[in-house]
Structure 1
């Protein structure tokens, strides 16, 4: 089975790097190999699918090591500095040679950075310079959003719904979507990707997919005491309302965004070429695959919210 083989290869990769040393059950439970198999139906090439699977695991591990898991070394006061360093590892630091060597030495043994470097290296292998830069830019934006979330956590600040959604737009699945064309064997032109209407449409889908993640992870995060943030929690604090009502309202917002994405695709159908149409179809496939993964992933199923709100999520 493709998903199973990808998950086994991910375990080997993570073990070789030292990610989750002694805690490999976290990697096995995550199932990012299955996520890749579901979200990129344009290919069944294992080597190609391992690229986004490694990237997803590397980002997830960085979030754990730096933001969420003290047992893995997360230190809130170091978050901003660490994320800035992580951003630098996505490309050359452009330092004088003797200082570049010092940078490499200082970051060599950090497992989160090793995972990020390795994943980025594999991504470079299958992408053009423009495609890689597209992903790198969205990752750096994601790191900025993680830093903002760290500030909220340190100050015990409960963001308003609009603030949370603004943050979630950046801290989203957008980096995963940027590689859709590379996996599909074609290239979305850089000027098409940069078009505001295209950015808005893909960003809408990425936010919707991230809200689905919030809904499915709400059960786990409700048991957490370290100040996790999600949309149902933000809605419940602002309304106020019951947790179940907040889940329903979150699901409605997800569906509203997916319907908006559909309308945006229809409008873009009159503007773009074949590559854009393929890419937008790929984004819709990605959202459907992600939803299927969330509905069955052990890490979410184990802490089900009660089964009501998640099943109202629409792919459209």
Structure 2
């Protein structure tokens, strides 16, 4: 099956999105700004505003001199250039007559990408993430995990390194203005995985009593407001285990750079994630295999959604709440989270099948509920993923056409790049994943 090419970010959202642009321009008019001037500050050659700076580049370390900047690599150039492909013209603010369209295909990676993509899986290849940034993020996150939050014992070090979280986050956020912005996402990703492993799965997790553990951990993100008598006991509890220490610290860093609206949005999506954990735990306790549609409903909550929802925080800008909250944008974000989570089901299938007990994933549920062989069920799950991806791209394109506001266009592109980076990490993380022999 031919590769679909570099990330095009097509998308489409319900017709209600058409009101977004009117809302923004009405605000501009109320401030005495002509509608035609509302976007005039966007440079003609750059479809979406990026963090102000001289040359496009980012220091690799926090104490590097300002002049020592990293020139834009191919991945960042692709962000600056904007998406290409069928249906993506609306994602560019510049007039098409004045700015010639960019070449539709990005150059192939200079070196072979490790790992084999799942045959037939719809995805967009990306350029290799910046190795200097990967190394710096990897160094900083390990220092944080070991020295600041005491996240794991010594015998877990190999697993931590094998997770390759630095490469993961740099691939998903190539437009992050600094390494510290990348660290916002990296700490939160590591903390979320600590909760999953220690409370739910690999390292002592259990469905029994999970609700209480998750609730206490969630208070590290959404703090308890109580009386002076009981506040100290709650504060002390945030240091009582690795997941809570990680949540507390990662959220403190996030709050230093995110707006209150962005922080509240993230807390909401983490509550969704925890609710998904609880549904899966309840099924495990009752040995219930859900219907396929029920499983997909659970996976809409127990999924990667908190990661792409902070793409603007990591990018150093903000998608305003009234542009993030409407149903059209929420549908795009949900579809992105659902598609990327099925990618995880597919790449981790062999690993989970080799583990003790029964692990629910989409191929397993399809096989049992639709009376299919493992191979048939796996291939059908690939088709479910592809349908979700096509829907995500169609909905994004429609929203971009209906609401050509700079922050909306940049956010949509950022989510699409996160989707691509997520697939890249799963494909290339051969330490964790291998494919079943179904082809």
Task: Give TM-score, length-normalised by structure 1.
Answer: 0.92
For 1:103 and 1:222, how far apart are their aligned partners in 2? 39
Task: Give 1:206's aligned residue.
Answer: 337
Match of 1:42 among 175, 188, 195: 175
- Counterpart among 175, 192, 196 of residue 59 in structure 1: 192
Q: 2:225, 2:359 → 1: CA distance?
A: 35
Structure 1 segments of 4+ aligned residues over 6 angstroms from their partners: none
Residue 232 (structure 2) pairs with residue 113 (structure 1): no
2:320 aligned partner = 189
- Give, in angstroms, the shift of residue 306 of structure 1: 3.2
Superposed CA RMSD: 1.5
Which residue of structure 2 lines up, in the alignment, with residue 85 of structure 1? 216
Query: How many residues of Structure 1 are paired with residues of Structure 2 in the alignment?
Result: 305
Q: TM-score, normalised by structure 2?
A: 0.67
Larger-Rg structure: 2
Task: Please list every run of 5 or more consecutive structure 2 residues that lacks an aligned counterpart in the other structure.
Answer: 1-130
Deviations 1:129-156 (A, max 9, x none): 0011111110011011101111111111
The change in CA–CA distance for 1:21 and 1:279 in structure 2 (over 3 A counts) is: same
Deviation per residue, 1:81-140 (Å, 9 max, x gap): 001111122122011122111112233221110001111111111110001111111001
> Which SS does the other structure have where 2:390 is aligned?
helix
Change (3 A) 1:172 1:20: same
Give a deviation string over 1:190-247, Cα, whole Å, max 9, x none: 0111100110111011100100111000010001223322111111111121222222
Aligned equivalent of 1:170, options 301, 310, 325: 301
Determine the structure 1 residue equivalent to 2:144: 13
Q: Distance in 2 between matches of 1:144 and 1:214?
A: 19
Q: Distance in 2 between matches of 1:278 and 1:228?
A: 37
- Alignment partner of 1:277 is 2:402: no
SS of 2:208's partner is helix
Instruction: Name the structure, 1 or 2, with higher relative contact order (CA <8 Å, separation 6+).
Output: 2
Q: Distance in 2 between matches of 1:58 and 1:207?
A: 21
CA distance in 2, matches of 1:10, 1:156: 37
1:101 aligns with 2:101: no
Taking the TM superposition and a 5 Å limit, the aligned residue runs for 1:286-301 are 286-301=418-433
Residue 44 of structure 1, CA deviation: 5.8
Find the aligned partners of 1:116 and 1:199 in 2 and give their Cα distance: 25
Deviation at 1:183, TM superposition (A): 1.9
Contact 2:177 2:316 in 1 (8 A): no
Distance in structure 2 (CA, Å) of the matches to 1:240 and 1:5: 48
Aligned to 1:32, which of 147, 162, 165?
Answer: 165
